Amino acid sequence: MKSTLTLIVALTFGSAPAFAQSDAPDVLAAPESFADIADETERSVALFNEMGKVLTHPRCVNCHPVTGGPRQGDDMVPHMPPVIRGEADFGAPGMTCNTCHGSENVEFTSGEGSIPGHEPWALAPVSMGWYGVSLGDICEQIKDPERNGGKTLEELYIHNAEDGLVGWGWDPGEGRTPAPGSQELFGQLTRAWIDTGAACPI
């Protein structure tokens, strides 16, 4: 009886652990939400799991294919018209990414959708392919300078917190769901993850 009463009180007055709010897939929790996780490695993993809401979101994954060309839309379907990666992750000669993608988003005249844009606009390198990859493997990828473009963890933080193309994920244009949270919050999570040891999910 006592345990039942305790549960009712907890549910009523919100005394569940602060990090439980990270369960919502479309909400990005702040680093402080994980403060109740005493073990630093466990907290680091929890922080990266929260970052994973962004990393595995269509706004990121569509340009991080493992094979072939990019994907598009919230349902991550293959890009139409069909395009290929090309030698420089920038499309085929004569049909590079900037053939269609300019320096900013352009809404269709019908008002139903848009062509995404940012300068630069390109695919992530093959070594950073995420589509269908587990979050633990993505974590190991982004920590590995041989696969992440030679970045240190500090440079990775700056990339996540300040890079314009990363930031596009929160301003993706008409017809696309933005990544959860904000780039500022994503950067804060990245900082906290690094400061707690940059541990990866198994």
Q: Would residue 92 count as lying in a domain?
A: no
Scanning the structure block, which residue is given the tokens 């300068």? 119
pTM for the full predicted model: 0.86
Q: Would residue 115 count as lying in a domain?
A: no
Q: Would residue 19 count as lying in a domain?
A: no
Q: Would residue 55 count as lying in a domain?
A: yes
In whole angstroms, what is the distance from residue 121 CA to residue 134 CA?
Answer: 25
Q: What value does the mean pLDDT of the chain take?
A: 89
Write down the pLDDT at residue 58: 97
- Report the number of distinct structural domains present in the chain: 1
Write down the pLDDT at residue 1: 41
Stretch 179-197: mean pLDDT, rounded?
98
Domain carrying residue 188: 29-76+124-195
Q: Would residue 160 count as lying in a domain?
A: yes
Q: Would residue 91 count as lying in a domain?
A: no
Scanning the structure block, which residue is given the tokens 């290929």? 84
* Angle at alpha carbon of residue 148, lines to 43 and 199, rounded to 5°: 15
Kindly indicate the confidence band of residue 22, based on its pLDDT and cuts at 50, 70 and 90.
low
Stretch 68-82: mean pLDDT, rounded?
93
Q: In the chain, count H helices and then E strands.
A: 7, 6
For CA atoms 108, 82, 60, 118, give the dihedral sign.
negative
Q: Would residue 149 count as lying in a domain?
A: yes
Provide the percentage of residues in the chain whose pLDDT is more than 70.
89
The per-residue pLDDT for range 161-180, each reduced to its tens digit, is 999 999 999 999 999 999 99
> Token pair for residue 188?
């804060």
Residue 103: is its pLDDT beyond 70? yes
The per-residue pLDDT for range 136-152, each reduced to its tens digit, is 999 999 999 999 999 99
Q: Would residue 99 count as lying in a domain?
A: no
